[in-house]
Every structure is written in C-alpha cells, then in structure tokens.
Amino acid sequence: MRKRRAKSSRQQWEPVGEDAAFEEPIEPRRKNRHRQKNNIEIFDEKPRTVHVRSFPAIQLVGDTSKYVLGQHTNYNGNGHLQHTNPTYVDWTANEWVHTANMDKHFEVNGGTVKVKENGLYFVYAQIFYLDEHDTNGYRVYKNKEVFLQCTTMTHSTERIVKGNTCYTGGLVVLSDGDEVNVQDLGTGRYSIFEPGKSFFGLIKIADVKVK
C-alpha cells in the first residue's frame, strides 16, 4: 500500500509595526503523525505565525578619514589618532544604521548621541589605546552624569607605546532628548580609531514609562 502525505502549508509571516523589517525562516513544528485504517499515514503540519519586531539601535565607529598624514600633527596614519578634545568626536555611523532606517531614532552631533524614544537601553563602548601612558580610560555620560567607566593599566619602567583595548557596557533608562557620549579620563591620549577597534553604540531593549 502506498503512503500519501498531505501538502504542507507555507509559513505565514506577520510583521508588527512599521519597524518590522527582518524576517528569518524558522524550523517547522514537529509533524503530528496519525496512523489510520488501511495502513495510511497522514502528516499534519499546521502553519505558524511569526511576529518580528526590530529594536532601535545605533553603532558609531572610529573614523579618521578627514585626517591627512603630514598635515595633521595629531595623526600618525593607520587610524593612530591623538584626541585633543576630551569628548570623542571622530565617529561615523555603521552603514546598516542608514540602510535599516535606524537613524530616525537617534540624532548624532559632535560625538554625542541624542535618543528620541523613552526606554531601557544597552550602551557599550570600546577604545583601542596605543599610547605611552601607563593608565588610560574613559567615562560614558548620560547628559552630565557618569554611568559607565573603563580603565586599563599597563606599567612599564620606560616610556614606551603600549596597546590596550578597554571595553564596557551596561543598562540605563533614557528619556526622549537624553544625550550619551564618551569622554576620555586624560587629555592628548592616542588610540586606534578604526572600525572594529574603537566603537560606541546603543540598543533599545524595552519600553519604559518615564515619570
């Protein structure tokens, strides 16, 4: 006796809100097999509705494209930049921020990110120091309040250039209009300001009612 199978239905996708732009296939449910008379097996696969929601996110990466070796005394080439401003300003947004239309949720000005939505955010940053100082580090500010800090220390008996990455991240409640930026603990520190080496970002992970 031949076996026959019922045709399976295609998966149904139902985006939630205007930001639902990412859809990924998932494994189908386990098929329910029923054995009936005459030794015929019927496979019943029910369609699934998948709700997809995107979260506002932005990532800035180090950018030294405006500096020219030999013209700017604070630039040594290959992303090696001395920062003359306590606030890190030489950022550019990752390409996906624009293609995914994420820049509508944030405003970037002079190294400062202003959020446009209330919520609970995961904020993270990394600076790749390549500097002679034994101690390097930075603070992450919410408006004028410090809520994250990272410090790296490497002692040497001689004044030599040392490379260290300093990463930190944490959760913070932000309101519409709040500003976040990264400021160095010292002045005149050198770092490698290239994508993947120095970066700074925010991800909204939950809605929060701010009183």
**H or E segment at 147?**
strand 145-153
Domain ranges of the chain: 12-52, 57-206
Q: How far apart are CA 188 and CA 160, in angstroms?
A: 16
Q: How far apart are CA 152 and CA 166, in angstroms?
A: 6
Find out whether 144 and 87 touch, Cβ atoms under 8 Å: no
Q: Which amino acid is at 209?
A: K
* Other residues' Cβ atoms within 10 Å of the Cβ of residue 117: 14
Residue 104 backbone dihedrals phi, psi, to 5 degrees: -75, -15
What is the predicted pLDDT for the residue at 36?
A: 52
Beta bridge partners of 51: 14
The pTM of this model reads 0.75
> pLDDT grade, residue 10 (50/70/90)?
very low
> pLDDT grade, residue 17 (50/70/90)?
very low
**H or E segment at 97?**
helix 95-99
Mean pLDDT along residues 176-180: 98
Which class is 57-206 in CATH? Answer: mainly beta
pLDDT tens digit sequence for 35-74: 555 566 555 566 776 555 779 999 999 999 999 999 999 9
pLDDT tens digit sequence for 90-135: 999 999 999 999 999 999 999 999 999 999 999 999 999 999 999 9
